[in-house]
Amino acid sequence: MPEILKNIKAEDRLKKIRIVSENDDVMGGQPDADGMKENDNNAIFDLACSVMHALAEVAKVDQKAIPQILDALGDSRTAGASQRIVNEVNKLAKAAQTAANQANDKANTAQSRADSAYSLGNTANSNANTRLEKSKNLSDLTNVTTARNNLGLGNSATLSTTSTLSDRTDQVATIKVVNDANRAASNAQTAANQANDKANTANTAAATADKKAVIAQNKADSAYNLANTANGAAANALKVANTKTTEAWVKSQISGATKKWLDVTKQRSLNTNYTNNEQYPIFLSVVMGRSRDSGLEVYIDSTLIFRQQDTYHEWASASSAFLVIPSKSTYMVKKANDKSAGIEKWSELR
C-alpha cells in the first residue's frame, strides 16, 4: 500500500461529502451536515476514506463462505448452481408454467363445457317433463283424441282386434281374417263360376239327352208300327193264300202280337247270360242308373250288338237300350265302364 494511503482512515464518510456548485453561496471548503456553512472537510479525502472503508468491508468476506458452483441438480444447501443448470431449470419452469397454463385453459374449457352441459341437461329435463314417457306406453297423452287425429289414425286406432268374423262394430279384424275372408270369397266366386259352367254343360247334356229320348221314342214308335204292319200283312197273307193256318199259329209267330211288357229287374243281373226260350223274338228294354260317364253294352250270342257311352263328365246321365232278342239266342248286359251305375230298370216284352 502506498505510504500516503496509510494516513487515510477507513471510515464511511459518504454522508459528509457534498459537492458544491459554483452557484452555491458557500464558497470554499465543505458544508457541514446542518447547513450551507463552511467547514474544513476535504471532499477528496472523505471519498478516499469511504473507499478504504468499502475495501475493508470487502476484505472481511470469508473466502470459504463462497458456495461451490455445481453443474447438476442436487439436495446440497451450500453449493450453488451453474448458469446452465439455472437456464435448464428456468426452461423447465417455463415449460411447466406453459403446461400449467394450458391445463388451466383446458380446465376452463372443460368447466365451460360442463356448465353448458349442465345448462343443456336442465333444458333437456325441462323438455322431458313435457314429453311422453316410454314406460307409460302413451298412457300419459294430454289429449288422446287430438293425438289420434294428428296421426291420422281415426277411431279404429282405439278398437281392439279380433281373429273372428262377426257383425260387431267395436272391433277391428286382423289382416289374416280379412285375407281369409277374401280367399273364401274368391274361392266361392270360382266355385260359382265352375257351377255355372257345369250348369251350362248339364243344360246342354239335358238338351242332348232329350233329343236322344225323342229319337228313342220315335224308334220305339216305328218298331211298334212296323210290328202292327207286320201283323196286318201276315193276316192278309193268310187270307190271300187261303191256308188252313190257325190264328193261334199266327200270333205265335208274330212278336208282340199278344204279349205284355214284364218288369224283370229283380230277376236280372249284369254280366249274366240269359236265353230267349220263346218260339218268337222278344223285346229287351234296359235303363241304367244316373251317373257321370254312364254307359252300357248289350251282347247277343256273345257278340257286341249295342254300346252307349255318354261323355258328359260333369253331369250325371242315364243310359238305355232297346233291342230285339231272336228266339233261342243268348243276351247279356254289361257296364260300359267302371263309373257306370247299376241297372235301374230291366223290362222284356214276352
Q: 275-285: string of b/e by CB count within 10 Å (b at 16+)?
A: ebebebbbbbb
Q: What whole-number distance in Å separates Cα of residue 159 and Cα of residue 157?
A: 6
Neighbours of 314 (CB within 10 A): 14
Regions in the chain scoring below 50 on pLDDT? 25-29, 36-39
pLDDT in tens, 179-201: 888 998 999 999 989 988 988 88
Longest dimension (CA), the chain: 227
Regarding pTM above 0.75, the answer is no
Q: What is the pLDDT of residue 334?
A: 92
Q: What is the pLDDT of residue 18?
A: 58
Q: What is the pLDDT of residue 38?
A: 45
Q: What whole-number distance in Å separates Cα of residue 300 and Cα of residue 276?
A: 10
Strand, coil or helix: 21: coil
Q: What is the pLDDT of residue 159?
A: 74
3-state SS, 143-204, equals CHHHHHHHHCCCHHHHCEEECCCCCCCCEEECHHHHHHHHHHHHHHHHHHHHHHHHHHHHHH
Q: What whole-number distance in Å separates Cα of residue 269 and Cα of residue 108?
A: 117
Q: Is 324 left (phi over 0), alpha (psi -120 to 50) or beta?
A: beta
Grid cell listed for 60: 472481511
Q: What is the pLDDT of residue 208?
A: 83
pLDDT in tens, 319-338: 889 999 999 999 999 988 87
